[in-house]
Amino acid sequence: MNRTISKLLLVALSACALASCGEEKETNQTAMTPDSSFFANVGKGTIVFTLADVTLTDTLEAGQIELGGDFASLAIKTVTRLSETSFSIYVEGTCTANNANLGLVTLKSDATKENKENYLASFSIGTELFHVAQSSASSHSTDGVMYTDFVKTIGLYNGAKWIEDRISTVNIGFQTTDPTNYPLTNLSETSVAYVDSSSITLNYTIADASTIGKYTVIFGQGTNDFSISKTYALDSIGK
């Protein structure tokens, strides 16, 4: 009798395991990739997410997305289902400063057809909208003087976009912090070029690269659709 009971119990346990008997949904799995893991605390922004191995339900609502950490004070204004595996949220507000500058976004399980687990994405929070996406430097000699040529690709966080017809040296200007000792004429071959809505390039040449921090670049208010202006030393854009 005991042997029979043992066999029945084993079968029951095996069946329960195959059917995930009593299984609870997993939570907070890191399987949701944002287009950027950095968010600038400038009052608004759009974040695009891509999901792996699961598909979104046919409709997606703000109530299925939870903001936490320093994102808790933001408000979701718009949710857009971009495809079966991607979506975006547009948020407004000022991030709190209570959780080590860490923002969290959770997609609840009922937002996926698999309805299995919540998906979590985390963000570092900073203050600067502008950042150097790529940078290079090369040298050339003219009349025995060695010059350094800089090319920097400047991007924008939070889904902000550059406005093409505003990208010129009229709206993005170079200046010096000390005209007497570091005249602007030491900075030559300056130019600005529109690449696409997410990036522009700055080009400039200088004889003494160690003095580059004495020169600044001004991004005018009308150059981006967030209408944010900023002045940076050329060696500290986005810092």
- What's the chain's length in residues? 239
Q: In total, how many domains does the chain have?
A: 2
Cross-strand pairs, 47? 89
Considering the domain architecture, whether residues 97 and 142 belong to the same structural domain is answered as no
3-state secondary structure (DSSP) of residue 113: coil
Nearest C-alpha neighbor of 232 from the set 147, 139, 127: 127
pLDDT tier for residue 14 given thresholds of 50, 70 and 90: very low
> How far, in Å, CA of 92 to CA of 97, rounded?
16
Number of continuous H segments (helices) and E segments (strands) in the chain:
1, 15
* Global model pTM greater than 0.75: yes
- Indicate whether 191 belongs to any domain: yes
Comparing CA positions, the residue from 113, 110, 62 lying closest to residue 85 is 113
Q: Is residue 119 part of a domain?
A: yes
Q: 3-class DSSP state for residue 86?
A: strand
Residue 7 covered by a domain: no
Q: Specify whether the backbone of 18 is left (phi greater than 0), alpha (psi in -120 to 50) or beta.
A: alpha
Domain span holding position 118: 25-126
In a domain? residue 17: no
What are the tens digits of pLDDT across the range 133-168? 999 999 998 888 899 999 999 999 999 999 999 999
Please give the full DSSP string across 122-167, using - where no structure is assigned: EEEEES-SEEEEEEEEEEEEETTEEEEEEEEEEEESTT--B-GGG-
Q: What is the domain-level CATH number for residue 59?
A: 2.60.40.10
Q: How far apart are CA 226 and CA 231, in angstroms?
A: 15
Burial 213-235 (b: 16+ CB within 10 A, else e): ebbbbebbeebbebebebebebe
Last residue of a domain, one of 126, 151, 170: 126
Name the 3-class secondary structure at 233: strand
Q: What is the pLDDT of residues 167-219, one digit of tens each?
A: 999 999 999 999 999 999 999 999 999 999 999 999 999 999 999 999 999 99
